[in-house]
Amino acid sequence: METTALVTGADRGLGFGLTQGLLQRGYRVFAGQYMPDWTELDGLAGEYPDTLHLVPLDVGQTDSCYAAAATVAAMTDRIDVLINNAGITGGRGEIGEGLDYEAIQRAYNVNALGPIRVVEAFLSLTKPGLRRLCFVSSEAGSIANSYRTSGFGYYMSKAAVNMGVKITFNRLRPDGYTFRLYHPGWVRGYMGGKKGTHADLEPDVAAEYALPFFLNEREDEDRLVLIDNLGREWPF
Ligand SMILES: NC(=O)c1ccc[n+]([C@@H]2O[C@H](COP(=O)([O-])OP(=O)(O)OC[C@H]3O[C@@H](n4cnc5c(N)ncnc54)[C@H](OP(=O)(O)O)[C@@H]3O)[C@@H](O)[C@H]2O)c1
């Protein structure tokens, strides 16, 4: 039986790399498309006409998540691997400088609530079997290791999604779901508005680090861990 995956924020950056890597491994992939004018996914759909499906998906909007789930449900009755990847920055500024609360709220909505929304919307498609829920978080969400003095929106939203994942884990792990909480390393993605050039990893390389963690079995599925691309565990 074919294995299916959903990837959010698949247009570019790590999400695109993950989509490509899954297709190369023979998965049928439903790629959340947030930027219809960005053509990289269209090119990939030409290469994989039978196994790549582009699905409009804004993880910041509940209606969009349920509409995407309905679109996917018309094509398959199951999602085996759900990868919450979409993310945005959340403004800069230190305390006392007049923070951009709207930017902070946007980051919270997309980064913290988005993955939980997506899980809720797609829950009925996660049938007994693999039931793997993956979350691209960040070391930046580690409260224990935080050293930063600014960047409230992004860092707080990543700490919050870690908690959201933990609550979801507590509820769904007894039903056979398995969880992957992940920091992808420093990736040359587009979160700064244009492609990063100074970071360590090209998105396709970062995806090749991530996919074994997302797809392989772990010995201790009953412990939720935040793991980075080098296999190191982070406190969160
Ligand atoms: N890059 C790093 O070094 C790094 C480090 C740690 C963790 N991460 C995490 O890794 C993930 C991917 O990062 P990346 O560097 O690949 O970012 P990216 O290049 O910006 O890719 C993220 C994609 O998600 C899209 N997106 C934005 N808002 C969305 C929404 N509401 N619904 C659906 N898609 C949306 C983005 O569109 P727009 O471009 O229009 O916003 C973009 O296409 C994020 O969760 C990020 O926090 C990245």
pLDDT digits (tens, 9 = 90+) for 200-219: 999 999 999 999 999 999 99
pLDDT reading at 111 higher than 80: yes
Report yes or no: 151 and 111 within 8 Å, Cβ to Cβ: no
Q: Which atom of ligand 1 is nearest to the CA of 154?
A: 47
Q: What is the pLDDT of residue 66?
A: 98
Cβ-based burial of 92 (10 A; exposed 0-12, middle 13-18, buried ≥19): middle
Q: What is the pLDDT of residue 182?
A: 98
C-alpha 136 to ligand 1 mean position (Å): 9
Q: What is the average pLDDT value for the chain, to the nearest integer?
A: 97
Record: fold of 4-234: Rossmann fold (3.40.50)
Residue 14, ligand 1, Cβ within 6 A: yes
Instruction: Tell me the pLDDT band of 1, cut-offs 50, 70 and 90.
Output: confident
* Cβ neighbours around 140 below 10 Å, total: 17
Residue 195, ligand 1, Cβ within 6 A: no
Cβ-based burial of 141 (10 A; exposed 0-12, middle 13-18, buried ≥19): buried
* Euclidean distance between CA atoms 142 and 70, whole angstroms: 34
Q: For the whole model, what pTM was predicted? A: 0.98
C-alpha 190 to ligand 1 mean position (Å): 7
User: How is the chain split into domains, by residue range?
Assistant: 4-234
